[in-house]
Amino acid sequence: MHTIRRMNFETLAIHAGQPPDPAYGAVMTPIYQTSTYAQKKMGEAAYDYARTANPTRTALQDCIAALEGGKHGLAFASGMAAIDCVLRLLKPGDHVLASNDVYGGTYRIFKRVYEDYGVQASFVEMSDLDAVRAAIQPNTRMIWIETPTNPLLKVADIAAIARLRDGVSRPVQIVVDNTFASPYLQKPLRLGADIVVHSATKYLGGHSDVVNGLIILNDDATFARLKFLQNAVGAVPGPFDCFLVLRGIKTLHVRMERHSANAMKIATWLQGHPKVAQVIYPGLPSHPQHEIAKRQMCAFGGMISFIVKGGPEEARRVAEGTKLFALAESLGGVESLIEVPAAMTHMSVANSPLEVNPALIRLSVGIEHADDLIADLKQALG
Ligand code: P1T
């Protein structure tokens, strides 16, 4: 790992954590489908029980740590399980300050799970540094940043928020959900974040065939606690799931380039469509945080949101009318998806301050030919 860590992203994506297997030289990391391991002598074994550790999982954890430029990686059964593990660092009475636009499930775990255990959450416009500064409370222990956010694609300046935190005398951890950008486009640890989480179900897996979550960080003591929790709570992924994410990661850089190029073409085209009221894409100069996105990301990713004229009825008609874009939750796969967040992925923020415009459509732009995707949207917008 030491020599390989100095290599470029593309090389790390393919090789980090994955030397040929020591048993038979398998070039692709084997799926170690076992729950337990024979011990030559009691307590003398590299692995003892598969909830605690599994070689396929170790490869994934080491690979993602290298890609995020972190020291440690941990893998989980889902993105929500990874988020849950990070939130277990908090104690009753602690406060989390989160982005005022987050994945519906993230809002739900804050408000309907952790509040029952005495952990408070409040939500702030993370692109407004004065608002963030003013919202930090004496008991704030975590700042939870999604950037770009789901589904409004707001961009927060991670480095500026980390500097702001440095001025606070109490310990406040900065957590970034890097799912929408992926480590190819954005590296939060290098910008001053303490912990990165991923729904690896999305771009990292990349093929809509696995549910998985990841945590990456540098601090040894926090890692020791999270690793303890990973084993003690036990929301671990199976070896086959780890294999699928590892295989997906090998092409992450190539896919992200194409997702980004396609999304840029589609966002530009949507902007000129008479039935579209607003297009939200961090790559467009009209995006309010376009300059931050340019600084912080090396391209703008594959997610686009847009508001149609004609309200929720029209949004539903368009989302149900595409032929190539599948009407589905989730994102980040090679195939394009379309959804209406207010009625699908973000139902849990209904009647909250985070409520999403019901006429907003979210696209996960895949890596098909951009012209075919535009033709599909054109017929659906009709
Ligand atoms: O679905 P899961 O792997 O548990 O990941 C949860 C999650 C965490 N963070 C972000 C930013 C996410 O977008 C998600 C999952 N999102 C969807 C399923 C969706 O369609 O938006």
Residues 59 and 150 in one domain: yes
Asked whether residue 194 is assigned to any structural domain, the reply reads yes
The per-residue pLDDT for range 138-195, each reduced to its tens digit, is 999 999 999 999 999 999 999 999 999 998 899 999 999 999 999 999 999 999 999 9
Average pLDDT for 311-322: 98
Cα of 153 vs centre of ligand 1, distance in Å, is 14
Going from the C-alpha of 215 to that of each of 5, 8, 78, 177, 255, the distances in angstroms are: 18, 21, 11, 9, 22
Give the number of the atom of ligand 1 that is nearest the alpha carbon of residue 330: 20
Residues 167 and 202 in one domain: yes
The per-residue pLDDT for range 216-226, each reduced to its tens digit, is 999 999 999 99
Average pLDDT for 358-363: 98
Q: Which amino acid is at 248?
A: G
Judged on CB neighbours under 10 Å (0-12, 13-18, 19+), 92 is: exposed
Q: How confident is the model at residue 34 (pLDDT cuts 50, 70, 90)?
A: very high
The per-residue pLDDT for range 291-305, each reduced to its tens digit, is 999 999 999 999 999
**294 a catalytic residue:** no
**Angle between helix 311-321 and 370-381 (nearest 10):** 130
Q: What is the DSSP letter of 46?
A: S
Residues 129 and 240 in one domain: yes
**112 a catalytic residue:** no
Residues 33 and 73 in one domain: yes
The pair of structure tokens assigned to 373 is 């995707």
Cα of 192 vs centre of ligand 1, distance in Å, is 23
What are the residues whose beta carbons fall under 8 Å from the beta carbon of 202, sequence distance 6 or more? Answer: 79, 179, 180, 182, 330, 331, 332, 333
- Residue to mutate, 147, 199, 245, ligand 1, most ligand atoms under 8 Å from C-beta: 199
Residues 128 and 210 in one domain: yes
- Asked whether the beta carbons of 239 and 56 are under 8 A apart, the reply is yes
The Cα 342–Cα 361 span in angstroms is 9
Asked whether residue 215 is assigned to any structural domain, the reply reads yes
Q: 3-state class of 287 per DSSP?
A: coil
Provide residues with CB under 6 Å of ligand 1. 78-80, 103, 105-106, 146, 150, 177, 179-180, 199, 201, 211, 213, 329-331, 345
Asked whether residue 365 is assigned to any structural domain, the reply reads yes
Q: How confident is the model at residue 3 (pLDDT cuts 50, 70, 90)?
A: low
Asked whether residue 2 is assigned to any structural domain, the reply reads no
The Cα 199–Cα 80 span in angstroms is 7
Catalytic residue among 202, 255, 258, 362: 202
Residues 109 and 47 in one domain: yes
- Residues of the domain holding 377: 253-381
In the prediction, which pLDDT does 2 show?
46
Backbone φ and ψ of 243, nearest 5° = -60, -45
Exposure string of 131-167, with b = 16+ CB inside 10 Å and e = fewer, is: ebeebbeeebbbbbbbbbbbbbbbbbbbbbbbebbee
Give the number of the atom of ligand 1 that is nearest the alpha carbon of residue 339: 20
End-of-domain residue from the set 218, 249, 280: 249
Cα of 39 vs centre of ligand 1, distance in Å, is 38
**103 a catalytic residue:** yes
Instruction: List 198's β-bridge partners, or say none.
Output: 214
Q: How confident is the model at residue 5 (pLDDT cuts 50, 70, 90)?
A: low
CATH code, domain with 267:
3.90.1150.10
**141 a catalytic residue:** no
The Cα 168–Cα 187 span in angstroms is 23
Asked whether residue 136 is assigned to any structural domain, the reply reads yes
Average pLDDT for 262-287: 98
CATH code, domain with 142:
3.40.640.10
Catalytic residue among 32, 62, 103, 376: 103
End-of-domain residue from the set 204, 222, 249: 249
Q: Could you check whether the bond before residue 148 is cis, i.e. omega within 30 degrees of 0? A: yes
The Cα 66–Cα 184 span in angstroms is 11
In the prediction, which pLDDT does 43 show?
86
Going from the C-alpha of 22 to that of each of 27, 35, 173, 198, 241, the distances in angstroms are: 10, 20, 38, 29, 21
Average pLDDT, the chain: 97
End-of-domain residue from the set 249, 267, 301: 249
Instruction: List 354's β-bridge partners, or say none.
Output: none
Q: 3-state class of 380 per DSSP?
A: helix
Residues 223 and 96 in one domain: yes
Share of the chain above pLDDT 70, in %: 99
Give the number of the atom of ligand 1 that is nearest the alpha carbon of residue 83: 8
- Residue to mutate, 182, 201, 245, ligand 1, most ligand atoms under 8 Å from C-beta: 201
Catalytic residue among 21, 47, 51, 265: 51
Asked whether residue 1 is assigned to any structural domain, the reply reads no
Catalytic residue among 84, 177, 194, 241: 177
Q: How confident is the model at residue 121 (pLDDT cuts 50, 70, 90)?
A: very high
Average pLDDT for 56-80: 98
Nearest CA to ligand 1 atom 17: 330
Residues 233 and 257 in one domain: no
Q: 3-state class of 334 per DSSP?
A: coil
Give the number of the atom of ligand 1 that is nearest the alpha carbon of residue 213: 3
Residues 198 and 259 in one domain: no
Asked whether residue 149 is assigned to any structural domain, the reply reads yes
Alpha-carbon Rg of the chain, whole angstroms?
21
Neighbours of 113 (CB within 10 A): 13
Residues 172 and 271 in one domain: no
Residues 40 and 180 in one domain: yes
The Cα 319–Cα 314 span in angstroms is 9
> Hey, what's the torsion of the CAs at 77, 334, 330, 240, to 10 degrees?
-20
Neighbours of 80 (CB within 10 A): 21
Asked whether residue 3 is assigned to any structural domain, the reply reads no
Number of domains in the chain: 2
Residues 288 and 185 in one domain: no
The Cα 33–Cα 55 span in angstroms is 10
